[in-house]
Homo-oligomer: A and B are copies of this chain.
Amino acid sequence: MPTTARLAARPYHHGQLRQAVIDTALQLAEESGDERVSLREVARRIGVSSGAPFRHFANHEALMTAIAEEATLRLRIGVERDLHQAGPAPIDQLKALGHSFLDWALQHPTSFRLVSARKLFDFDGSPSRVGHFSAVRALTVKLVQAAQQAGQLPQRPDMPAERMALSLRAAAYGLARMHIDGQLPQWGVPPGQAQAEVHLALDLLVDGLTAAQRP
């Protein structure tokens, strides 16, 4: 049996179709944008019939949920890895967490959109996606509490650590989205300096909170 025949003769059962669909869909998303992921195109690229993916995903939304889960896991892994590089002071770790979050968003714009663009998938449909997402949030809250205990962030009864963490996460999230949506140039940030500038913009707010700690 010649090689060309072996290559041409696809087995009737793919065997790894589910994972192949996820990988191809993520690739397609990074290429052309998350809103352009089509099940038919994915099937075509894999060399399988148009109905085949439906054996593994109930519908388009289920596939998007699956790739959002994959993207969220990657964000979590990236953030947890970067944190080990940071210094021991809680406030420095908190900044490192923010920078890591921003860096990941700038480097994987489509995946970042996937992680947060609720309209594209079933937000609560994947427990493990929710879990990865929550892990990053819990880490933020924990570092804020540690910084409060270390006297590096203010501590007030009317302002729980969770709310302070929310303010900072919102700032990081907003900066990431503004970059991805191409809004930074309007704010005087040259394209080449986006990363440095979003770091500074976030640090400014963290330092402000730290200053509010001093009596």
A residues with a Cβ closer than 8 A to B are: 33-35, 113, 116-119, 123, 133-134, 137, 159-160, 162-167, 169-175, 177-178, 180-184, 186-189, 197, 200-202, 204-205, 207-212, 214
Contact of A188 among B116, B133, B163 (CB under 8 A): B163
Closest to A159 in B: B204
Excluding A133-B186, A165-B187, A211-B211, 10 further A-B contacts by CB distance (< 8 Å) are A33-B119, A35-B119, A118-B182, A162-B188, A163-B200, A166-B178, A166-B197, A171-B171, A204-B209, A208-B209
A143 to B186 CA separation, bound complex (whole angstroms): 17
A183 contacts across to B, CB distance below 8 A = 116
Residues from chain B with Cβ under 8 Å of A164 in the complex? 204
Pair B182/A178 contact, Cβ less than 8 Å: no
Alpha-carbon separation in the docked complex, A98 to B60 (Å) = 37
Q: CB distance A118 to B181 under 8 Å?
A: yes
Is there an interface contact between B163 and A174, defined as CB atoms closer than 8 Å?
no
Contact status A205-B167, CB under 8 Å: yes
| Chain B residues positioned under 8 Å from A188 (CB to CB) | 160, 162-163, 166
Whether the Cβ atoms of B177 and A171 lie closer than 8 Å is: no
A-B residue pairs in contact (CB < 8 Å), sample of 8: A35-B119, A113-B119, A116-B181, A162-B188, A166-B175, A167-B205, A170-B171, A208-B209
Chain B residue with the shortest CB-CB distance to A189: B166
Q: How far is the CB of A138 from chain B (nearest CB, A)?
A: 10
Partner of A163, one of B134, B166, B201: B201
> Which 8 A-B residue pairs are closest in the complex by CB-CB distance?
A174-B174, A208-B208, A170-B174, A211-B212, A173-B174, A208-B209, A171-B171, A170-B175
CA distance A202 to B173 in the complex (A): 14
A34 contact set on B, CB distance < 8 A? 119
Contacts of A166 in B (CB 8 A): 175, 178, 184, 187-189, 197, 201
